[in-house]
Amino acid sequence: SVARLGLDDYFYGDGVSVIEWADRFPEFIPEQAQWLVFEIKSEDQRAITFPDNSHALSALGL
């Protein structure tokens, strides 16, 4: 089960944690998480966006 993976150690520890496919188990993701969206534009091009997270960009100095 996801609950037994010890995700709290990652979510509330130092640094940044990136969870692939987090949209498949959103009930385990902290409310204050910053979401990224990866979009395939072409065979060799991707786009990464921060949807509705302008405060995330400010926190990163962007």
Same-domain check for residues 44 and 18: no
pLDDT of residue 3: 66
Task: Single out the residue of 35, 33, 57, 38 nearest to residue 48, CA to CA.
Answer: 38
pLDDT of residue 32: 81
pLDDT of 25-54, one tens digit each?
A: 888 888 888 888 889 999 999 998 887 765
* Beta-strand relationship, 45-49 and 37-42: antiparallel
The model's confidence at residue 1, banded by pLDDT at 50, 70 and 90, is low
Beta-carbon contacts of 55 under 8 Å, excluding residues fewer than 6 positions away, are none
Task: Single out the residue of 19, 11, 17 nearest to residue 38, CA to CA.
Answer: 19
User: What are the backbone angles phi and psi of residue 36, rounded to the nearest 5°?
Assistant: -120, 145
Domains contained in the chain, number: 2
Domain that holds residue 17: 1-31
Same-domain check for residues 11 and 36: no
Q: Per the structure block, which two tokens stand in for 46?
A: 């991707």
Across the chain, mean pLDDT equals 81
pLDDT of residue 41: 97
Q: pTM of whole model > 0.75?
A: no
